[in-house]
Amino acid sequence: MDTDILSKLAPMLRHTHTHTQNKLSCTGKLTRGYRDLHIHVHSHALSKLAHMPRHITSLHRDHTETHTFMFILTQPASCTEKHTQMLPSEKEFHDAAKRNDVARMRELIRRGVNVKVKNNTDRTALHWAAGAGHEQAVRLLLEHEIPVDDEDSFGMNALLLSAWFGHLRVLQILVNAGAKINCVNKNGRNLLHCAAQRGHVPVMEFILDDLEDMQVDKTDKMDRTAFHLAAEHGRLEVVEFLIGSGCSHSVKDKEKNTALHLAAKNGHPTVLQRVIEAGLDLEEKNMEGLTALHMAVEEGHYDCVKLLLEAGCDVNTQTQKAMTCLHYAALHGYEDMARILIDAGVYIDAVNHQKASAVHIAVLQNFPAIVKLLIDTECNLDILDNRQQPPLHIAAEHGRQDIAEMILIAGVNLKLTDKQGKTSLDVAARGNHINLADMIIKADRFYKWEKDNLNSDSDSWVAKHLTFKQDHRLETQHIRSVMWRLATKYLKPNEWKKLAHYWKFTDAHIRAIEQQWAGTKSYREHGHRMLLIWLHGAIIAGENPIKGLYEGLVGICRRDLAESIRKKANADSTSPRKCTAM
């Protein structure tokens, strides 16, 4: 196909499928100067897209720092009306520039290819050649008067790309060719920003020493300087270079972050150490009231947290929402982080703007290890949040049995009520968390028994074996089987309540059990639950369960049933008199 035909067809090919483009919506995330472009296509447009090419192009080039130059191109790349379809020869020209195939480029130029052609992200062959560091291809393109300052859809031109990828020689060639040195991309980042973010000190030296009007503290659209970007991305050599070049250390970005915040947030301990040595204020807060320590904890960077604590950061400082570092450790389940903060003297019962302590948050987020650590540190388990809920209410509301078990064993006030006047037992029953409700009743009965019968000896048999969970042990299997038959075959609808009152179950206990609905014969399940709860207390007290069951049935005027149950229970009973509490 001759040159004239190509030139006539090009405009037609570049503006086809406009209807299909209107079916597309685009989102983009800017990353390292370029962004991956994600195209969401309406299902009814797929058939029209079938014949539209997708260009996924990557160019890899090894450098001393092993940089990879990759762009993901999708059709189309923006939500504008522009829709460019490159001719095969034009695409081949771009590909030749990417691999520095100057001979092929010359041949295509001789055949009349459009040197200035742009792809669907507005990139020319010069973008590719400059980004890949291909000096020969760059020189050839400049010889054929390719526009040196053209920007792609992200505001990146060839000069910015050469700085981004650290190609000093290409950058110098472009500067000598008249490229505008004060260019910025769509994020407002200039040559120095690009080089600093990627860690290219030689490029930065050239920019500051040989180019005019290049300010070391120039800010981008986020008010970040090269020093911010170097700290954020862990570029220690760049940080050292900028400090030596006299940059401002304490400048803040739009979110009021200093370089200290950014190094801590992104987990760069060596950079963080150098920034600390530069004299930045350790207690400086950003717009949300976070210090560098808050950020390091929230992102889980243990080494940075340790470093900041050793440097003297205040472990108890609070954000605008009254969050301490311990709140953030609890929020994300960072056990080691919580431990080092506790060792540093953090106040474990501090509350945030919702009056939630660290243990409230750990319970809500379901981090049992954090809850155990805080309990071991003797946190206040009866503290109330802004819903007037202690931690146990939260565990009951969400059915967190393991956490509730730890809290109940530690000992809490079960009479506390929330804003609706509900106890933790009410909350568990309302949520149909049957096992958890039974655990709370067991704990309530145990607390009463403990008050009258136990001393404070934490090494007692009860303290070592205490649990409020369901009993599945072999040694109690027989008596549990007897209780199941009693509840489902022999007890009349209201007799389980009589037994419950005889054994000093409270009205609140009975209401919580009755709240379970298991059909028209729910009383059977209610009775069985009550019997198992009673058994828990009998075993803890060291009583004979069969004897206690007999006395209870006699106490509600069912001597006949008491005799029958005792005979059945003693017939093949092998369970010991004293066994571990269930």
pLDDT at 334: 98
Per the prediction, the chain carries an average pLDDT of 86
* Common-topology check for domains 1-155 and 381-470: yes
Q: Is the pLDDT of residue 577 over 50?
A: no
CATH number for domain 475-571, candidates 2.60.40, 1.20.120, 1.10.533, 2.170.130: 1.10.533
CA atoms within 13 A on the CB side of 391: 35
Confidence (pTM): 0.81
Q: What is the mean pLDDT of residues 14-31?
A: 37
Segment 182-227, tens digit of pLDDT: 999 999 999 999 999 999 999 999 999 999 889 999 999 999 999 9
pLDDT at 464: 66
CA 65 to chain centre: 31
Burial class, 501, CB count within 10 angstroms (exposed 0-12 / middle 13-18 / buried 19+): middle
pLDDT at 463: 65
pLDDT at 55: 35
CATH number for domain 381-470, candidates 1.10.287.3510, 3.40.190.10, 3.20.20.60, 1.25.40.20: 1.25.40.20
pLDDT at 456: 56
CA atoms within 13 A on the CB side of 73: 23
Strand, coil or helix: 34: strand
pLDDT at 250: 93
Q: What is the mean pLDDT of residues 28-48?
A: 35
Segment 81-128, tens digit of pLDDT: 344 689 999 999 999 999 999 999 999 999 999 999 999 999 999 999
CA angle 386, 391, 395 (to 5 degrees): 120
Q: Is the pLDDT of residue 28 over 90?
A: no
pLDDT at 101: 97
Place of tokens 């969970």: 469
Segment 325-366, tens digit of pLDDT: 999 999 999 999 999 999 999 999 999 999 999 999 999 999
Q: How far apart are CA 483 and CA 407, in angstroms?
A: 29
> What is the greatest pairwise CA distance in the chain?
113
The closest alpha carbon to 324, from 347, 306, 308, belongs to: 347
| Phi-psi map region of 542: left, alpha, beta (phi>0 left; psi -120 to 50 alpha) | left
Confidence of residue 572 (pLDDT cuts 50, 70, 90): low
Q: What are the tokens at 252?
A: 């803040």
pLDDT at 84: 62
User: Looking at per-residue confidence, does 59 or 193 come out higher?
Assistant: 193
Segment 477-513, tens digit of pLDDT: 989 999 999 999 999 999 999 999 999 999 999 999 9
Asked whether the beta carbons of 119 and 55 are under 8 A apart, the reply is yes
Each domain of the chain, given as residue ranges in start order, spans: 1-155, 381-470, 475-571
pLDDT at 544: 92
The closest alpha carbon to 292, from 279, 310, 304, 277, belongs to: 304
Q: What are the tokens at 410?
A: 């530690």
Asked whether the beta carbons of 237 and 199 are under 8 A apart, the reply is yes
Q: Which CATH class is domain 1-155?
A: mainly alpha
